[in-house]
Chains A and B, each alone.
Chain A
């Protein structure tokens, strides 16, 4: 069943997203912004529900809602976990209330929270591949600038160089990743891919590039295992992926003991 052609497009869509989300997650962890992805995912879900009464595509309204939140974060002088926490609870409440008061809303919110990987079409796969291509193209330029901004926060203002191009560019990549991840994998599963692989890889790897590679390897391995288990055991994919990713966490203890 796992090799059924029907699953081919969903399989590759999830595979590409697993690698992309883990890679973006490593940069978010470096910037101490990984919790932001859960806030963005919740708000994207609320925005997705809003697409129904507005008659707009779910991906568009989810992207706009997440983009709006990212813009607010970008305009605040300092953003920390408290701000992300507020957006998480607000996004969740808005999503549930919108769903309860919108025709077919509960169906949409259920699919956004649980994910709908098996219903991925060629359009979803194409969008994921465009995202991956964008990320790989921009990363050599983005990476150094993001790190400079993290270790030497006033480097750009001190040298009168604009910081907005890499901030906006990275912000758009994060929003794009969150929306595609939420639509395909569900809000929590997407968040787990942003959050867990780099958390484990950072204590196991020596060196930045190795930690990036390990983050992607862990995410892809977890995805492959989860995809096979979910189909063979006839279980929903999202929770299985989350459980497999959480099963990687004890590797951190192994690293600490050595």
Chain B
């Protein structure tokens, strides 16, 4: 696992075709909570973000989506980069009668999901378990048209079978797309990420 703050120069030299590059990024809200962190994401790869609880992994993703503040460093995006963000606690309004396939349609996701997700297509979101909804959201993001998919703790609430299915979904990313995977499950990161970065809290 590479240290996030140590890889700036090598990443810049590695590949100028990166979908996104973070260069010495410190990010947070009222004040910085994470960084400095540097890495780039190449097309076709699944990059893992590890680190202790509270290290700021989700904040790095939010900085990429523009909902956390960048205090120093910068984010360089590929032109016209599109992003899908699977949040750690996906939004699920209570009692909403939206069907699984209607959620997929929002992101133009492939309506032919794997067997575990198939039965959810015609089920209202309100009648799905937490794990089922989590898996559906992950499929929606991974099979959207977005070139960069951000997955924040996608294994939460998932049982062993669902985690296997999620791993298979990650393998369906096309060559021009990439994912950043945040997870506290080291075994899942080890199994599915080509490269990992360790994120540390902001040290000032």
Which residues of A line the B interface, CB within 8 A? 29-32, 144, 147-148, 150-155, 157-160, 201-203, 205-208, 210-211
Distance in angstroms between the alpha carbons of A87 and B92 in the assembled complex: 26
Identify which of residues 92-134 in chain B touch chain A, using a CB-to-CB cut-off of 8 Å.
93, 95-99, 102-103, 106-107, 122, 124
The listed residue (B65, B96, B103, B106) touching A158 by CB distance below 8 A is B65
B84 on the interface (CB 8 Å rule)?
yes
Are the C-beta atoms of B67 and A154 separated by less than 8 Å?
Answer: yes
Shortest Cβ distance from residue B139 to the other chain A in the assembled complex, whole angstroms: 13
Nearest 3 CB-CB pairings of A with B = A157-B66, A158-B65, A154-B65
Q: Interface of chain A, helix or strand or loop or mixed?
A: helix
Q: Is the CB of B106 within 8 A of A202?
A: no
Given B66, B85, B95, B124, which contacts A152 in the complex, CB threshold below 8 Å? B85
A6 to B85, CA, bound (A): 56
Q: A144-B106, A151-B106, A158-B83 are in contact. Are A208 and B99 (CB under 8 A)?
A: yes
A157 contacts across to B, CB distance below 8 A = 65-67
> CB-CB < 8 A to A32: which residues of B?
93
B-side residues, CB < 8 A to A, are 62, 64-67, 82-85, 87, 90-91, 93, 95-99, 102-103, 106-107, 122, 124, 146, 150
B96 & A152 in contact (Cβ 8 Å cutoff): no
Q: How far is B124's CA from A122's CA once the two chains are assembled, in angstroms?
A: 42
Complex-state Cα separation, A198 to B144, whole angstroms:
30
Task: Give the residues in chain A near B84, CB-CB below 8 Å.
Answer: 152, 155, 158
Q: Which residue from A154, A160, A207 sits with its C-beta under 8 Å from B99? A: A207
Residue pair B91, A208 in contact (C-beta under 8 Å):
no
Could you jot down 10 A-B contacts, CB within 8 Å? Answer: A147-B98, A151-B103, A152-B85, A153-B67, A154-B65, A155-B84, A155-B85, A157-B66, A207-B98, A208-B99
Q: Which of A144, A151, A202, A210 contacts B90 (CB 8 A)?
A: A151
Q: Are B91 and A151 in contact (CB-based, < 8 A)?
A: yes
Q: When chains A and B are docked, how far (Å) is the Cα of A153 from the Cα of B102?
A: 17
Q: Which residue of B lies closest to A207 (CB)?
A: B99
What is the chain B residue whose CB lies nearest that of A151?
B91
Specify the chain A residue showing the minimal Cβ separation from B137: A151
Do A147 and B106 contact each other (CB < 8 Å), given the known contacts A154-B62, A211-B97? Answer: yes
Whole-angstrom CA separation of A75 from B78 in the bound complex:
31
Q: Which residues of A contact B107 (CB under 8 A)?
A: 148, 152
Please give the distance in Å from A31's CB to the nearest CB on chain B: 8
* Nearest-Cβ distance from residue B121 to partner chain A, whole angstroms: 11
CB-CB under 8 A for A207 and B102, given A154-B85, A159-B82: yes
Residue of A nearest to B62 (CB): A154
Alpha-carbon distance A30/B64, docked complex (angstroms): 27
Chain A positions within 8 Å of B90 at CB level = 151
Task: Tell me the smallest distance from the CB of A199 to a CB of chain B, in Å.
Answer: 8
Measured in the bound complex, the distance between the Cα atoms of B66 and A157 in whole Å is 6
For residue B99, which residues in chain A have a CB less than 8 angstroms away from its CB? 206-208
